[in-house]
Amino acid sequence: MSTDEEPTVTVKRLQLLLLATYWGMQIWVTFISSFVMDNHLNRHTYGFIQSRLVPFYLHLGSACAFFNLAIYAVYHPSDTLDDREAFQVCVCVCVCVCVTFCIKKTTLLEHSGFVRSRKSWKSHVILKMVISWQGKVM
């Protein structure tokens, strides 16, 4: 599947686009949006938004890393890789597969209701009672 020819300009731009997308997304999610949301939203809204953004972020990051690795594998024959490069390729593939599996498993558990513990359920019920009580007082 590998080729000995030099990658075309389109392939080089695609690889650069994938790398820039992933790095930019990491900077944005880690530093900019997290700090802004943490400072301006309450804890429950912040958690709700993060519960929707993080799976998307991890899926997109896995896809960018996988396609970047696939482009690298096509244009770098496996017989020319030294031990360190081969180990890095294997680790990257394993991480992509594990992240995708963990995201799917976590998302399924979240939507089936198993993640909510008794303690968090009790605090949720107490919070609902306090909010309804405050509404009656005002």
Q: Which tens digits make up the pLDDT trace of 73-125? A: 788 777 777 888 888 878 877 877 777 777 666 655 555 454 455 556 566 66
Higher pLDDT, 56 or 107: 56
CB neighbours of residue 64 within 10 Å:
19
pLDDT tens across 93-104, in order?
787 777 777 766
Give the start-to-end residue ranges of the domains of the chain: 9-137
Nearest to 13 by CA among 24, 4, 21: 21
Write down how long the chain is.
138
Higher pLDDT, 72 or 114: 72
